[in-house]
Amino acid sequence: MTDFKSHTIESAPEAAKPLLEGAEKAYGFLPNLYRNMAEAPTILEAYLTLSGILDKSSLTPTERQVVLMTNNRLNGCTYCMAAHTTISQMSNVPADVIEALRTDTPISDPKLEALRTFAAIIVETRGWPTNEQVDAFIAAGYSQQTVLEVILGTALKVLSNYTNHVAGTDLDDAFKANAWSPELAKAS
């Protein structure tokens, strides 16, 4: 496999340097995902931009994590599952919701479970849900806007999950306590 470079601020292409500096300032460390994305400053900028836009969506912090972690699990992204478990904990996502997302088990809250199910449908059908699936999602208390915001979250995860797969991103120390593997979901 090709060995992808994990950049420092100093080694990064010029266009990526301010993005990495901002990330390091915001998080107190430079996530390995960003170090790998820095090789192509446009993907790093796209990822950071979409992350900020998703934060402006109608989805609550818990709902955003439901969409993102469902994508991470379905895409088998060990890095993002660990990172988003940590982010979920910091965002006060209920522990039972985090556990359900990590183990592919139903969420006890029916509305969040409808969101988890619909996010999975979007991924598994490659964006071709049936009219009945869309109607059921809306009947669960969501809207046409939410349908599109689930697609936005899915697009964001394609950028990070696929980068991690191709680049073999190492798990940051900050996320190691929440390490995850696809076998964890199968064992439940």
| pLDDT at 99 (0 to 100) | 97
Dihedrals φ, ψ of 8, to 5°?
A: -95, 175
pTM across the whole model:
0.94
Q: Round the average pLDDT of the chain to a whole number and report it.
A: 96
| pLDDT at 183 (0 to 100) | 82
User: Which CATH number does the domain 59-187 belong to among 1.10.340.70, 1.20.1290.10, 3.30.559.10, 3.40.50.150?
Assistant: 1.20.1290.10
For residues 140-157, average pLDDT: 98
Q: Give the torsion sign (CA, 66, 69, 71, 74).
A: negative
| pLDDT at 78 (0 to 100) | 97
| pLDDT at 131 (0 to 100) | 98
Residue-wise pLDDT tens digits, 35-94: 999 999 999 999 999 999 999 999 999 999 999 999 999 999 999 999 999 999 999 999
Of the chain, the percentage scoring pLDDT greater than 70 comes to 97
For residues 149-173, average pLDDT: 97
| pLDDT at 164 (0 to 100) | 97
Q: Which two tokens stand for residue 46?
A: 């796209």
Looking at 75-174, list the stretches that DSSP marks H as alpha helix, in order from N- to C-terminal side: 78-90, 95-103, 110-124, 131-139, 144-167
Neighbours of 149 (CB within 10 A): 21
Confidence of residue 186 (pLDDT cuts 50, 70, 90): low
**Residue 187 pLDDT more than 70?**
no
**Residue 5 pLDDT more than 90?**
yes
Confidence of residue 2 (pLDDT cuts 50, 70, 90): confident
Domain boundaries defined on the chain: 59-187
For residues 121-145, average pLDDT: 98
| pLDDT at 1 (0 to 100) | 59
Tokens 């990495």 correspond to 20
Which has the closest alpha carbon to 116: 65, 186, 155?
65
- Find the Cα–Cα–Cα–Cα dihedral 57, 76, 116, 131, rounded to 10°: 90
For residues 168-177, average pLDDT: 96
**Residue 15 pLDDT more than 90?**
yes
Give the C-alpha separation, 182 to 188, whole Å.
11
**Residue 165 pLDDT more than 60?**
yes
